[in-house]
C-alpha cells in the first residue's frame, strides 16, 4: 500500500499569510494526487486534482505542485474561511490512501 505523510501536522497562521503544506508518498505516484479541505462537521471538498489542477470554483489563491513522491499545497494569502484541515490523497493505485491531515489554525 502507498503511505502518505503530511507536514506539518498542525500550522498556526494569520490572515494574509502564505501557507505551504507538504505531502510525501512512500513510492512514486506520478501526478495522481488530490488535495481536500475539510471543516468541522462537514464533508471534505476537493481543491486540487492531478497534483496541480484547480477544481472548478476553487479560489486561485490555492495551488498545487509536485510529482513522483513529493507534493505541495500552497495558499498564497490565507483568508478567514481557509482555517480548516487539509488532506492529500493518492489515486495512483488501490487501496486509495489519504494523508493524516494538516490542521490550519488561527495564530
**Residue ranges in contact with another protein by CB under 8 A:** 1, 32, 34, 36, 38, 43-46, 49-50, 53, 55, 87, 89, 91, 94-101
Of residues 16 and 57, the one with the C-beta less far from another protein: 57
The sign of the CA dihedral 82, 38, 68, 6 is: positive
- Residue 92 and residue 62: Cα distance in Å, rounded? 22
Minimum Å gap between C-beta 35 and another protein is 9
Shortest distance, position 84 Cβ to another protein, whole Å = 13
Smaller CB separation from another protein, 32 or 62: 32
**Pick 20 or 92: Cβ nearer another protein:** 92
Q: Distance between CA 29 and CA 41 in Å, rounded?
A: 30
Q: Minimum distance from CB of 15 to another protein (Å)?
A: 26
Could you tell me if 9 and 100 are in contact, meaning their C-beta atoms sit under 8 angstroms apart?
yes
Amino acid at each position: 500500500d502507498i503511505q502518505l505523510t503530511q507536514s506539518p501536522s498542525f500550522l498556526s497562521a494569520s490572515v494574509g499569510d502564505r501557507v505551504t503544506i507538504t505531502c510525501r508518498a512512500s513510492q512514486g505516484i506520478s501526478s495522481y494526487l488530490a488535495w481536500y479541505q475539510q471543516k468541522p462537521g462537514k464533508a471534505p471538498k476537493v481543491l486540487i486534482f492531478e497534483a496541480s489542477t484547480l477544481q472548478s470554483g476553487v479560489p486561485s489563491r490555492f495551488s498545487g505542485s509536485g510529482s513522483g513522491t513529493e507534493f505541495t499545497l500552497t495558499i498564497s494569502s490565507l483568508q478567514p474561511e481557509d482555517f480548516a484541515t487539509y488532506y492529500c490523497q493518492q489515486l495512483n493505485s488501490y487501496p486509495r490512501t489519504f494523508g493524516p491531515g494538516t490542521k490550519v489554525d488561527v495564530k
